[in-house]
Amino acid sequence: MQLAFVLYKYFPFGGLQRDFLRIALECQRRGHAIRVYTPIWEGEVPAGFEVVQVPVKALFNHRRNEKLTAWVEADLARRPVARVIGFNKMPGLDVYYAADGCFEDKAQTLRNPLYRKWGRYKHFADYERAVFAPASKTEILMISEVQQPLFVKHYHTPAQRFHLLPPGIATDRRAPVNAAEIRAELRREFQLADDDLLLVQIGSGFKTKGLDRSLKALAALPREQRQRTRLIVIGQDDPKPFLLQVKALGISDNVQILKGRSDIPRFLLGADLLIHPAYNENTGTVLLEALVAGLPVLVTDVCGYAHYIAEADAGRVLPSPFEQARLNHALADMLADDQRRAFWRRNALAYAETADLYSMPQKAADVILAARP
């Protein structure tokens, strides 16, 4: 079959983008042709993919989205496909991959009522309704079970259209047999002594991921502990406001902020702790990438995948409502306890051996290929 995938932006280091690529590659592996519509494509194009960079521009994102929808609809009328799979909410989809949470719920609970008078609200509400309304035929690939009740609450979506997927952690994130060598090499590269402590925070969207909280917690460490603790942040975002915060907190010698990169497994093996105090997070793939690498995790409970850390007993999950003092204390406590971190590491690796954390692309492809055109 000819399959069409639609997303608003592709770049190599986004969670949604990596999920799209692995699902599309799985469909291609099964013999199907892949066409991708997107206004922005950064990075290499996989062999055999037809990438259509849609020539749409607008001052506002919602106007750009509307132009993209119209352009894709016109092209599909000329060049039909068997299935249309969207990775952002939009009309006309046979299958939607639910990487984002419920927009309507956020609009009603987190926004001023005046927000719902704006054109931006109407656009995103209409596009979400096109996917989740009872009359829609779109099959929905869910990656966060906590979001499904919110969509049902606002749209009364029939239960049979939801398909809950397992996580899809790439196997290259698992700790290899030479993990100790990789760890030692990375620590030499970043000039870390044997008794230095390395924190990592990984993910694009520094504000949403709670980087400001991590910096405050690092600054609050006891002096001796702080002096031998380094935080390396990796992601695609503007670091300037956070570098200003680093300077104001007096921790410039402790923090490095790096752009997105492809060798994340090295950092997961070389670090002592992953910190991820997100404000909100539909899933949090990096939590499971850390888990299968044997890296203990400190995370807020709002992340959709935080429950895996609790189930594996591979770190600490901070309850809501968030308190900075609780994060500060937990970070200092986890860094001070080498034996406990070793215990969490063993638990994580054991969990990675038995839990289904890897089959998302295969299960997603099953639903896509079975969906009614």
| Domain 2-166+358-370 top-level CATH class | alpha beta
User: Is pLDDT of 147 > 80?
Assistant: yes
| 2-166+358-370 and 171-354, same CATH topology | yes
Distance CA 218, CA 220 (A): 5
Can you give the pTM of this predicted structure? 0.87
- R_g of the chain computed on alpha carbons: 21
pLDDT (tens digit per residue) in 309-339: 999 999 999 999 999 999 999 999 999 999 9
The whole-number average pLDDT for the span 80-88 is 98
- What one-letter code names the amino acid at 364? A
CB 166 within 8 A of CB 128: no
| Dihedral pair phi/psi, residue 201, rounded to 5° | -130, 125
Domain borders along the chain are: 2-166+358-370, 171-354
State the Cα–Cα distance between residues 83 and 372, nearest whole angstrom.
8
Assigned superfamily of 171-354: Glycogen Phosphorylase B; (3.40.50.2000)
Region of 298 (left: φ > 0; alpha: ψ -120 to 50; beta: rest) is beta
Per-residue pLDDT of 243-276, as tens digits, reads 999 999 999 999 999 999 989 999 999 999 999 9
Mean pLDDT computed over every residue of the chain = 96
DSSP letter for each residue of 174-188: S--TTHHHHHHHHHH
Residue whose C-alpha is closest to residue 312's, from 293, 334, 331 = 293
| 110 has pLDDT over 90 | no
What is the tens place of the pLDDT at every residue in 28-59?
999 999 999 999 999 999 999 999 999 999 89
Give the pLDDT score at 225. Answer: 97
